[in-house]
Amino acid sequence: MAFVKGAWRILVAIKDGLVLLFLLLFFGALYAALSFSPKPASIGSGALVLDLDGSIVEQPADIDPVALLTGSAPQNKEYRLSDIVAALDAAKGDAKVKAVVLNLDGFMGGGQVAMARVGKALDAVRAAKKPVLAYATLYSDDGYQIAAHASEIWSDPLGGVAIMGRGGSNLYYKGLIDKLGVNTHVYRVGTYKSFVEPFIRSEQSPEAKQANQALAGALWQSWLDDVTKARPKAKVAAYASDPVAAARATNGDMAKAALNAGLIDKLGDETAFGTHVADIAGEASNDRPGDFAQIDLAAYTKARSPSNDGQIGLLTIAGDIVDGEAGPGTAAGDTISNLLLTALDEKNLKALVVRVDSPGGSVMASEKIRNAILQAKQSGLPIIVSMGNVAASGGYWVSTPGDVIFAEPDTITGSIGVFGIIPSFEGTLAKLGITTDGVRTTPLSGQPDVTGGTSPEFDQVMQMGVEDIYRRFVGLVAQSRHKTPAQIDTIAQGRVWDGGTARQIGLVDRFGGLDDAVAEAARRAKIDPAKAKLYRIQEDPNPWAAWIEQMAQRRQEDASARAPRDMLARQATVQRGWAMQAIDDVKTMAMGAGVRADCLECRGYGAPKTASAAGNERGMMAMLATLWR
C-alpha cells in the first residue's frame, strides 16, 4: 500500500508539473504574441525578389489565427499593390539593389489596373539602369502583362506563354432551379443589370451579352496596347489570335513557340535562371546551384515603411460591400464608417482620399459608408476618389461624394442599378407532397413566405421599393456629376463601362492612379504634393495573428512550392477558383442583403477570392443543401 501511495504522489507531481509547464508556455506565448513587433531585418546587397506566389490585391484580407493553426487558411497569399509599388520605387535609387527578379511561377493575377501600375513601376526601375528579370514555367495573361516590362523574360523549356484573352463563361442555374421547383422572385431596375440573370435565364440576355462583349473588347485592346508598348518586337497579337498555328509550327512545343514569337527571351530551368541572376546580383552565401544574393520583398517593404502620421487620410474600400463588421479585404459598412468617423474625430486631417476597389454589394452598407464620407466633406475636407480595378454598383455609390474622381482606362465602373432576390420553395415542397396554408390580417402577413410563395402585394411593394432606390442612386450620381437624372438614366440601367468610356460619358473626371489622387488632395488642402504624407485609415494589425503567421510561414512556403505549373493544371486551378467564387456568390444572393447594388460581370476581371482549404471541400451540392435548409 505504501508503494501505491508513493507512486500516486509521483504521478500527481508529474501531472502538476506538466500543467504548470503548459501554463508557463501558454502565457509566455501569449506575452510574446501581444508584444510581437517584427523588427526590420538588415538588408544586404543583391536582387530584390518579387516571388509572387498568390495574387495582388488592393487590401489583403485578415487571416484568422485559428485557420493558420488548423491548416484551413487561404491557400494563396495576397500582396498589397501599394507595398509592391513602394518597394520598386525605393529599389530604383537603392545602391544595394543590383536587380529586380520576378518569380511568377505561382502568380494568380490581380486585374489590369494593378498589373499596369506594377508595370509602370518596373519601367522606372529599368530607366534607372537596373535590370529586371522575369521567370516562370508558364505565363498567363496577368503574369505576362507584368513580365512584358522586364528587360529579360525567361521560361522553362517545358512551359511557355498561355494568353487566354478577356471573356469566359458564367454559371446559369435556371434549369436546376426549375428541376428543384424553386421559385425565384426577382426585383430589379436596369436593362443591363445582369447579376440576377443566372437565376431567371439559362443564358445571357442579348443586352447583357452586347454590354459584356463591349467591355471585354475594350479591356483586351488595352491589354494588347500595354504589352505591345512594353515589348514592341513581340508578335503578341498574332500569337494570341492563332495559338494553333503557333503550336503547329513547333510541333506543340509552346515554349519554343513563345520564343519564336518574341514573347520570351531565353529558355532555361530555374537553376540556369538563378545562375544568370547571380552573375548580375552576386552569389548567395550558400553553395546551392541556382541560388543568388537575394533581398526579401517583405523585409525590404517593412524596412522602408513610412510612418502613418500624415494629414491626408486614405480610406480603402476593397472587396464586397457588406452589412455589419468585418476585417480588411471586405468593405463592411459599420467597420469602415466607424474607422473614418474615429479618424475625423482624433486626427487633424486636411483632405481625404477614398480608394475604391469593389464590385459593390449591400445598398444599406454602401449608404452607411457614403454618409461617413459626407461627414468628412461637411467638415470642409476635400474628397478625392481613386478607383482601382473595379468601382461599380455599390463601389460607385460610395464614390458619389467625391469632388474629383480618378480612374484608369482599365477601371471597371458604372453598373448603376439595384436588385433584390428571394427564393421560395413551394414548388419543391409540392413535389414532396407538402403544402402550406394559414390566415392573414393584412396583405403582407407572413411575407416573404419562402415555403408558400410571395403574395402579389408583396411583389409589388418590393418592386416599387427597388425602383425607389434606383431613383435615389441615379439622383446621387446626377448631383455628383452635375447632370440631370434623365441624363444619368441613359448611361445607368445597370450597364458596366470601362474607364476610358466612363470618362467620355462623365462618370469619372480624370485618368490617374492613387499617386495622382493624393497629389490632387494635397493641392486642394494647400499642401505641397511633394511633401504630402498619408494617414491610412485602417484597423491596427493583430499582433497575435502576425505572430502565428510568422510561425506558419514555412508551411505556407511548402504549400506554394506545390502550386501547379503546367498549362492544364494551372488553368484548372484558376477556373476552380472562379467556380468556387460563383458558388459563393449564389449563396450570398440567397442569404445576404435583400436589396443590392452589385455587379456580377465585374468579378471576372481581377483575381478570384482566396479559397481556404476547408472552403474547397464544399462544392455545388453543399451549396444546394444550404439553400434547401
Catalytic residue numbers, as ranges? 193, 393
Which pairs count as long-range contacts for 120-124, CB under 8 Å and 24+ apart, including other chains?
120/149, 121/84, 121/85, 121/88, 121/89, 122/88, 122/146, 122/149, 122/150, 123/149, 123/230, 124/88, 124/89, 124/92
CB 422 within 8 A of CB 594: yes
Classify 361 in phi/psi space as left (phi over 0), alpha (psi -120 to 50) or beta: left
DSSP state letter for 612: B
CA distances from 528 to 166, 205, 311, 312 (A): 41, 51, 12, 12
Contacts with 167 (C-beta within 8 Å, 6 or more apart), sequence order: 212, 213, 216, 220
Alpha-carbon distance 570 to 565, whole Å?
6
* Cβ-contact 502, 411 below 8 angstroms: yes
The DSSP symbol for 35 reads T
**Helix orientation angle between 81-91 and 112-127, rounded to the nearest 10 degrees:** 10
Q: Could you tell me the CA-to-CA distances from 266 to 107, 137, 234, 294 in Å, in that order? A: 20, 12, 13, 21
How distant, in Å, are the alpha carbons of 176, 384, 475, 482, 545 from that of 488? 37, 21, 8, 10, 45
Say how far apart CA 390 and CA 4 lie, in whole Å. 73
Burial of 189 from C-beta contacts in 10 A (0-12 / 13-18 / 19+): buried
CA distance 320 to 365: 10
- Burial string for 58-94 (b: 16+ CB within 10 Å, else e) reads bbbbbbbbebbeeebbbbbbbbbbbbbbbbbeebbeb
Vertex 382 angle, CA 377 and 384, to 5°: 105
- Maximum distance among all alpha carbons in the chain? 97
